[in-house]
């Protein structure tokens, strides 16, 4: 083995790979991997902007420059196409979301050493990294990290139920101990501001309630919800919380799915609108709140929006009724009860945006139908390639692939794809 080997590419989990198959974490294409496992930086290796990189599991690729990061996203999608011999006619240059553009984040909060830690898990560990900065999430969300820790201290003490006479109980009663606490934190940018949800923590007492209300008011929250195990409880919501989808304000139930970045959403929606322009009827499957349905609907296009999550379905239906858009919301579990071939035959085109597992059952029905055009949005190139192979087998061709890197500096890649039946 030579003393040094060049890193040729970045593997799917973020490690650099040499021609001989050696792996190196934190490498970039063009780096030299020494025999002792250390790296000599090459032309595509940059200084990671975040002090937490290397410990925080939220990012794996901050060492890549823009060119090599784009190449990684494109390769992930292209490889998924090649693996099933799908033969994409066009793969467009990838779209990368810029730093500090994530509008939806899920964090973990835990008590540790008498204090509260809020952050992401360490890479390959259950330990938390206390975030002092974050170059991924939107500034409005990052600004809440420090004050949120203070709030959780008060809420954590309010949630404590110390046993009388016990050592921990006596310390808690004196206010000298932080009881064990763990909670999941969800923050989302909505039209009214920041929607903050705390799950896994139940609070009691006037002090904790007043602290939550003061926090929500002082920081201009759009909404504050708590879930102690019995569902979301709204603590603060001065006006109904909504998100703008297309030109429609749609109710946003607590914990609902939203594309991670606004620019990523616009890229995916833009592809769908371009590919489905002029289609008189579209079936939007796994439609969620209506991200694609409201963008596609118009004077010449009617959209059926099918979704299994009841809250999302009702929000979509309410927005469609209020806006008078030709969006017809249907509550339907497409895994257990997919639209059948004869039902799909009533539509000129289908758009589907399934969860990470893909949509095997629904794709089988599409393959057996007379639908001539399918737009498939995916957050998992692996399950997408399996479903895409089924469509190709049924006589479709893969016309275009558009890679999207919404989750900047992570190995998570999304795509938009167009299938046309000749």
**Binding site for S-adenosyl-L-methionine: which residues?**
259, 286, 307, 353
Q: Phi first, then psi: give them for residue 182, nearest 5 degrees.
A: -150, 135
Residue numbers in the known binding site are 259, 286, 307, 353
- In order of 100, 176, 293, 300, 400, the CA distances from 275 in angstroms are 30, 62, 14, 15, 10
The set of residues, in sequence order, having a beta carbon less than 8 Å from that of 171 and lying 6+ positions away, is: 177
CA dist., res. 60 & res. 69, Å (int):
11
Catalytic residue from among 59, 134, 365, 379: 379
CA dist., res. 334 & res. 340, Å (int):
10
- Nearest Cα to 397, choosing from 367, 422, 376? 422
Q: 182-190 and 128-130 as β-strands: parallel, antiparallel, unpaired?
A: unpaired
Long-range contacts of 271-278 (CB under 8 A, 24+ apart): 271/375, 271/402, 271/416, 271/418, 272/296, 272/351, 272/375, 272/377, 272/416, 275/373, 275/375, 275/400, 275/418, 276/301, 276/349, 276/351, 276/373, 276/375
Note whether 196 and 168 are within 8 A (CB). Answer: no
For the four alpha carbons of 43, 60, 355 and 194, in that order, the dihedral sign comes to negative
Task: Enumerate helices (H) and strands (E) in the chain, giving the number of each.
Answer: 11, 22
CA dist., res. 317 & res. 200, Å (int):
30
CA dist., res. 373 & res. 366, Å (int):
10
The set of residues, in sequence order, having a beta carbon less than 8 Å from that of 41 and lying 6+ positions away, is: 28, 31
The encoded tokens of residue 284 equal 């939007």
The encoded tokens of residue 232 equal 């979301």
Q: 4-10 and 281-285 as β-strands: parallel, antiparallel, unpaired?
A: unpaired
Active site residue 365: no
- Nearest Cα to 396, choosing from 415, 371, 379? 371
Catalytic positions, please?
379
């Amino acid at each position: 083995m030579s003393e040094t080997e060049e890193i040729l590419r970045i593997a799917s989990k973020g490690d650099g790979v040499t021609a001989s198959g050696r792996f190196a974490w934190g490498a970039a294409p063009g780096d030299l991997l020494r025999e002792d496992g250390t790296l000599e930086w090459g032309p595509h290796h940059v200084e990671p902007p975040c002090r937490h990189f290397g410990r925080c599991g939220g990012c794996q690729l901050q060492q890549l420059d823009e060119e090599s990061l784009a190449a990684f996203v494109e390769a992930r999608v292209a490889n998924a196409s090649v693996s099933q011999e799908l033969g994409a006619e066009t793969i467009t240059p990838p779209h990368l979301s810029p730093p500090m553009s994530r509008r939806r984040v899920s964090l973990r909060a835990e008590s540790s050493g008498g204090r509260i830690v809020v952050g992401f898990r360490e890479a390959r560990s259950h330990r938390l990294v206390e975030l002092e900065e974050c170059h991924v999430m939107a500034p409005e969300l990052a600004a809440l990290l420090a004050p949120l820790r203070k709030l959780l201290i008060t809420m954590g003490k309010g949630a404590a139920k110390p046993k009388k006479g016990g050592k921990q109980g006596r310390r808690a009663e004196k206010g000298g101990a932080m009881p064990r606490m763990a909670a999941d934190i969800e923050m989302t940018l909505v039209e009214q501001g920041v929607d903050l949800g705390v799950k896994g923590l139940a609070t009691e007492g006037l002090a904790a309630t007043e602290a939550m209300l003061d926090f929500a008011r002082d920081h201009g929250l759009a909404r504050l919800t708590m879930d102690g195990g019995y569902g979301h409880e709204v603590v603060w919501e001065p006006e109904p919380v909504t998100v703008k989808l297309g030109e429609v304000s749609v109710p946003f139930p607590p914990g609902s799915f939203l594309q991670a970045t606004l620019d990523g959403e616009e890229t995916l929606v833009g592809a769908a609108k371009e590919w489905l322009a002029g289609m008189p009827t579209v079936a939007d499957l796994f439609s969620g709140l209506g991200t694609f349905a409201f963008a596609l609907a118009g004077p010449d296009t009617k959209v059926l929006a099918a979704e299994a999550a009841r809250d999302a379905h009702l929000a979509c239906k309410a927005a469609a009724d209020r806006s008078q858009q030709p969006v017809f919301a249907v509550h339907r579990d497409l895994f257990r009860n997919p639209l059948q071939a004869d039902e799909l035959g009533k539509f000129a085109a289908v758009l589907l945006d399934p969860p990470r597992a893909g949509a095997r059952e629904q794709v089988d029905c599409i393959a057996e139908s007379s639908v001539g055009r399918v737009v498939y949005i995916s957050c998992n190139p692996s399950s997408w390639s399996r479903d895409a192979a089924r469509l190709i087998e049924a006589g479709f061709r893969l016309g275009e692939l558009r890679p999207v890197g919404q989750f900047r500096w992570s190995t998570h890649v999304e795509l938009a794809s167009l299938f046309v039946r000749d």
